Amino acid sequence: MYDPETVKRVREQRAAWEKKVEASGSEGNGPFITTSGRPVRRIYDPTDIADLDYERDLAFPGEYPFTRGIHATGYRGKPWTMRMFAGFGSAEETNARFKYLLSEGQDGLSIAFDLPTLYGYDADDPHAEGEFGKCGVGVSSLADMELLLDGIPLGDITTSMTINSPASVIWAMYIRTAEKRGVRRGQLAGTLQNDILKEYIAQKEYIFPPKPSMRLVTDTIEFASREMPRWNSISISGYHIREAGATAVQELAFTLADGFEYVRWCLERGLDIDDFAPRLSFFFNCHNDFFEEIAKFRAARRIWAREMRETFGAKNARSWWLRFHAQTAGCSLTAQQPEVNLLRTTIQALAAVLGGTQSLHTNALDEALALPSEKAARLALRTQQIIAFESGAANTADPLGGSFFVESLTNDTEDESYQYFRRLEDLSGVIPAIESGFFQREIAESAYRYQREVDAKERIIVGVNDFTLDQPPDVPILEMDPQGEKRHLDRLKRVRRERGSREAARRLKALENACRNSENLMPYILDAVAAYCTLGEICNVMRDVWGEYKEPMVI
């Protein structure tokens, strides 16, 4: 990018300047490191990106390798989707929150499910006791999904669902709800998280062993590629990996490695890469370190484009696109001085926008204390709206492109990610690495380092280890309807009583037989859901055939 003479001259000037700064003794105490612990130099100049090739690494927005964005016009053609994550208590309560957010300018749904739903249990299962509705909405049958989506224009809006091990069942409920209203499945647009590998790595909300779980994911990708062309059948997620304590590089490398693994399974199934790859999507965390996060997103696009084209042989340019949703970092929120979380979220959201996200969720200021109140959720949405319509950040594509610092961080992030890819190859791939505890150890070590820095006050967390106040937080706490669980359980009993019990049993038996062979399971799951078989009944069929996964002891 720069001729050798210029590089030589700048390096000489920089060396002289470095000596002058060191002699002055004016530099502070530091440490000058990113959130992930990567050293940051005093200044960056052309010598830090001297080997950057414009056509190979940068190019224009909308051109391979998409470092500067997948769309030529950035947000000038279309702003990112403001997709606020919501779900708590009963289907009725969450439906009301959806309608409120839509009335306030949100333009996409994102559904949070409670723990029993995430683990594939009905709300009346003993394993679900005490957990109904606490971290998301409870859904036990098609009847609940119908209430959850009542009055929502499913043919016009996009919906994201954060569900993984039982994703195929919840997705089937969504599809059947739409079809009962006359909306064809091919019209539906949205995203199913459906990323089971990151469950084994970080979040631990798995049910079945890895191989049958991967079969389910592959079934959903195959089904979507044939029948639901507007639906992203998987959102390959780094968010939960980061929340568990990973660095920015680990989040990126582990997420992309998972993505490559899903591609391999689909190719082994016999799918053509250009039939399914354009609908693969990603979900990333956006943490506190402004420039590191922007560099992470830019490196992610470049790596994915290169690997999809050069390693996997995709021909369709849309197969090279890394499209992603971002969410501000939940783990960065503090119970102390919760109003400060609004400022953290603003910085994180701006980084996601400058990094080129396709959709965004901004966390509410009270989430370290409870589920978001209506006011807190509105302020979180307003944060995005101010960035979009007042800040000027959306006026140009990749506004920090060409920054010596950002380009150097982007290159470093890419190089370090490939180091992880090589280590995973040495371990024979993602699933063997999971079973050996590789990911878990890497994340644990990173989390430990970060916490030591906080404990030693080497890293300042405002309101926690410095700039503290000796007073309790003063924010209203959301209260859920105490009758919500009772209504849900009554509805579940009524569903079991009023459905055709013989037909439900027949469809569950058909699903069991399909689980024992190699058929795509989605048609059988859709049939079972339509007969009002419950989430727990369907997942228990799979448990009986495949068993449950028990994580091995890792030292």
> In CATH, what number is assigned to the domain containing residue 333?
3.20.20.240
Cα 475 to the center of its chain, rounded Å: 28
Q: How many domains does the chain have?
A: 1
Tell me the HSE value of 48 on the side-chain side, using a 13 A CA sphere. Answer: 18
Radius of gyration of the chain (CA): 24
Q: What whole-number distance in Å separates Cα of residue 98 and Cα of residue 137?
A: 12
Query: Residue 1 pLDDT more than 70?
Result: no
Mean pLDDT of 449-462: 96
Question: How many other C-beta atoms can be found within 10 angstroms of the C-beta atom of residue 253?
Answer: 28
Q: Which residue has the tokens 């820095």?
A: 453
* Residue 334 forms part of a structural domain: yes
Q: Which of 16-20, 284-288, 352-356, 404-408 has the lowest mean pLDDT?
A: 16-20
Question: How many other C-beta atoms can be found within 10 angstroms of the C-beta atom of residue 424?
Answer: 20
* Residue 466 forms part of a structural domain: no
Q: What whole-number distance in Å separates Cα of residue 218 and Cα of residue 381?
A: 34
Contact status, residue 192 vs residue 164, Cβ threshold 8 Å: no
The two tokens of residue 477 are: 């706490």
SS3 522: helix
* Residue 188 forms part of a structural domain: yes
Residues with Cβ within 8 Å of 100's Cβ and at least 6 positions away in sequence, in order, are 374, 377
* Residue 429 forms part of a structural domain: yes
Across 149-265, where does the E strand assignment appear? Answer: 158-162, 189-192, 231-232, 234-237
Q: What whole-number distance in Å separates Cα of residue 295 and Cα of residue 34?
A: 12
Q: Residue 406: enclosing H or E segment and its boundaries?
A: helix 404-426
Query: What's the mean pLDDT when you consider all of the chain?
Result: 95
Confidence of residue 554 (pLDDT cuts 50, 70, 90): low
Q: What whole-number distance in Å separates Cα of residue 63 and Cα of residue 512?
A: 47
Query: Residue 531 pLDDT more than 80?
Result: yes
* Residue 480 forms part of a structural domain: no
The two tokens of residue 145 are: 């999904």
Question: How many other C-beta atoms can be found within 10 angstroms of the C-beta atom of residue 374?
Answer: 15
Dmax over CA atoms of the chain, in Å, equals: 85
Q: What is the pLDDT of residues 323-368, one digit of tens each?
A: 999 999 999 999 999 999 999 999 999 999 999 999 999 999 999 9
Q: Which domain holds residue 160?
A: 55-394+401-455
Tell me which amino acid residue 363 is. Answer: N
* Residue 543 forms part of a structural domain: no
* Residue 465 forms part of a structural domain: no
Confidence of residue 474 (pLDDT cuts 50, 70, 90): confident
Mean pLDDT of 223-236: 97
Q: Provide the pLDDT for residue 284.
A: 98
Query: Residue 52 pLDDT more than 90?
Result: no
* Residue 315 forms part of a structural domain: yes
Please state the pTM of the whole predicted model.
0.96
